[in-house]
Amino acid sequence: MSKRLFIKVDRSYFPQIKDRYPLLYLERGRLEVDDSSVKWIDCECNVVMLPIATISTLFLGPGTSVTHEALKTLASCNCNVMLVAENCFATYCQAISVTSDTRNMLSQIGLYSSPDKALNVARRLFAFRFPELDLSDKSLQEMMGIEGARVRNLYRQKAFEYGVSWQGRNYIPGKNEQSDPVNRRLTLFNSFLYGLCTSSIISLGYSPYIGFIHNGCPLPFTYDMADLYKSELSIDLAFRLASQTDLSHAQLASVFTERCCELNILNRLQKDIQSVLEAE
């Protein structure tokens, strides 16, 4: 009888972040494992096999259950899981895969612990948005003021471009239905973007909890990186789709994912994180 050949599988067998599909949103169903493959069983008993090695982040909404073995398989494939409220307006918790070592995180901590180096990281983050400005003599507060003015002007420009009424950013936690359509779309798309950035940061071995601009919030470095892409992702999509109130949550998630693929966001995230932290 011939001997079976066993090949040890490690991370190198799986696609890199830049080659993965950005995100998948699931609700009202069950995740479990069948023959080492993760399958999704929806509320109508339809079964779909998920290529989790090619997915960056899974968003699991209300009515979702997941087996212990499925979570183990997701972690082994470096596919991160976000447990979210309906419409992704809140994140309850996240199941993240462990990194192979802590070298990148220690490097990030080293930058954060030095005031001068931390300020230089913040300047590199702002330089993505203001390539024409000399930020070498700007303080963090000054750069944040410039950024605030840029974002307010961007909101007004998008409102004019898409013919949408805009009264300012307004989000009341737990009372999202009281917001106007644009603000509801902004909250949803920002949630997707935060999940995507968190997944990429962790997959590269860095920490989403060590930020250089944001502080005193749940995921500072996630917010630092997400701000680089909001103008072309969350903000543009929110204003463009504000008048289409008949779109389902699944359709909005699909539109967001398609835009991520068009803009090659995962590839850019990997390069931008390494550039900001001056990593190899």
121 or 93, which is more confident: 121
Q: What is the pTM of this model?
A: 0.77
**What percentage of the chain carries pLDDT values higher than 70?**
82
Query: Which range is least confidently modeled, 41-50, 128-137, 141-150?
Result: 41-50
Which amino acid is residue 269, in one-letter code? L
Whether 91 shows a pLDDT value over 90: the answer reads: no
- Whether the CB-CB separation of 179 and 190 falls below 8 Å is answered with no
pLDDT of residue 123: 95
For tokens 């069948």, name the residue: 34
Backbone angles phi, psi at 93, to 5 degrees: -165, 170
DSSP 229: T
pLDDT of residue 115: 94
For tokens 């068009």, name the residue: 262
Helix (H, G, I), strand (E, B) or coil at 25: strand
Written as six digits, the tokens of 150 are 């840029």
Q: What would the mean pLDDT of 10-37 be, rounded to a whole number?
A: 70
CA distance 141 to 118: 14
- Tens-digit pLDDT profile for residues 99-134: 567 888 999 999 999 999 999 999 999 999 999 999
- Tens-digit pLDDT profile for residues 212-267: 999 888 889 999 999 999 999 999 999 999 888 778 877 888 899 889 889 988 88
Helix (H, G, I), strand (E, B) or coil at 178: helix
Nearest of 86, 104, 65, 271 to residue 174 by alpha carbon: 86
